[in-house]
Amino acid sequence: MDSSLARLHQTAPPEESFLDCLVRGLSKTPKDIPCKYFYDSQGSQLFEQICALPEYYQTRTETALLADHAGEIAQLMGDGIEILEFGAGALKKVRILLDAARVAAYSPLDISGDYLREVVVTLAADYPALILRPLIGDFTQGLEIPLLPGNPRRAGFFPGSTIGNFRPDAAMALLRRMRALLPGGGLLIGVDLVKDPARLHAAYNDAAGITALFNKNLLARANRELGADFDLSGFAHYAPYNALGHRIEMYLVSLRRQSASLMGQRIDFAAGEAIHTEDSHKYTIESFREMAARAGFRPRAVWTDPERLFSLHWLES
């Protein structure tokens, strides 16, 4: 493993800071905060707890799909490739690929830098022969990730249906940018499917309240990092399914008229005012393959579970 985590060369203009994004997003109507800010170390740990919830079928279904089709996936990827994982999180699912395929190098990319630093140590110990290149960065920015010397082929891995966090036009643009990073390879991507709204609703409104904590971590993070004074008990987690838009929409709703202070700026909330914090779009297998094709991929294999809850796609670049 590289002794220091590589940082990405980003081709886009410098990114807005968390503070700038908060001030801009909370000063307008309607209010919003980009969902990528969920993920500091605490947010990443809360997401791992969500993955283990009984209501959250996504993680166990996708993991089973990977395990059931690992041999086929390994053949499609070919020998001696580099895997570049977008939004790598806890680095758990990739282990199935590392065990099944002949992977020469693995480059996990994530915005949650401290968490990535932590989990990569365990992976490095478990796979001592693997060339590891952890990358801290934002995949929504223009990225330049050079191929590793001696590794001319690269496969992308984008599990967890993170693609669903983007509106379809932004998702297509992101897929297009990812494709440019995967010459002569492909992208293995997990996509959550449209289904009974009650099942979807339960997955984002768990009985233990972990998704609510994850949602509120945006404000908790602002309190920790920026010395803000958001009163977490003054906000409710609200995550309805928008059946027309095929997406879960997540909000923090102010339970009363209140204000908070953020680096000397006052942020006012009316009673019932919402902050939009995340969308999670759901696709049919066909609608996703169509979008991937419009982004320039050649959709090849697709796997789904018997209940058609989740899908895993191999897209050739």
Ligand X SMILES: C[S@@+](CC[C@H](N)C(=O)[O-])C[C@H]1O[C@@H](n2cnc3c(N)ncnc32)[C@H](O)[C@@H]1O
Report the nearest approach of ligand X to the CB of residue 225 (Å).
Answer: 15
Residue 156 within binding range of ligand X, rule CB under 6 A: no
Residue 139 within binding range of ligand X, rule CB under 6 A: yes
Nearer to ligand X, 40 or 82 (CB): 40
Nearer to ligand X, 59 or 317 (CB): 59
Can you tell me the distance from the alpha carbon of 99 to that of 78, in angstroms, rounded to the nearest whole number?
14
Nearer to ligand X, 84 or 111 (CB): 111
With CB under 6 A as the rule, give the number of residues binding ligand X. 20
Stretch that binds ligand X, among 103-111, 219-227, 232-240, 259-267 (CB under 6 A): 103-111
> What 3-state DSSP class applies to 104?
strand
Residue numbers 68-87 binding ligand X by CB under 6 A: 87
**Best CA proximity match to 220, nearest among 208, 210, 207, 233:** 233
Q: Which of 25, 33, 42, 93 binds ligand X (CB under 6 A)?
A: 93
Can you tell me the distance from the alpha carbon of 145 to that of 91, in angstroms, rounded to the nearest whole number?
19
Tokens of 269: 């909330």
**Best CA proximity match to 311, nearest among 194, 214, 221, 233:** 194
Residue 83 phi, psi dihedral angles, 5° rounding:
-100, 125
Q: Which of 18, 22, 42, 47 binds ligand X (CB under 6 A)?
A: 47
Binding to ligand X by CB under 6 A, coded x per residue (else -) over 6-45, reads: ------------------------------x--x----x-
Can you tell me the distance from the alpha carbon of 302 to that of 132, in angstroms, rounded to the nearest whole number?
28
> What 3-state DSSP class applies to 85?
strand
Nearer to ligand X, 93 or 221 (CB): 93
Report the nearest approach of ligand X to the CB of residue 109 (Å).
Answer: 6
Nearer to ligand X, 66 or 228 (CB): 66
Can you tell me the distance from the alpha carbon of 172 to that of 249, in angstroms, rounded to the nearest whole number?
19
Residue 159 within binding range of ligand X, rule CB under 6 A: yes
Q: What is the CB neighbour count within 10 angstroms for residue 78?
A: 14
Residue 112 within binding range of ligand X, rule CB under 6 A: yes
Asked if 234 contacts 254 with a C-beta cutoff of 8 angstroms, the reply is: yes
Asked if 214 contacts 235 with a C-beta cutoff of 8 angstroms, the reply is: no
Which residues sit at the interface with ligand X, rule CB under 6 A? 36, 39, 44, 47, 51, 59, 87-89, 93, 109-112, 138-140, 159-160, 162
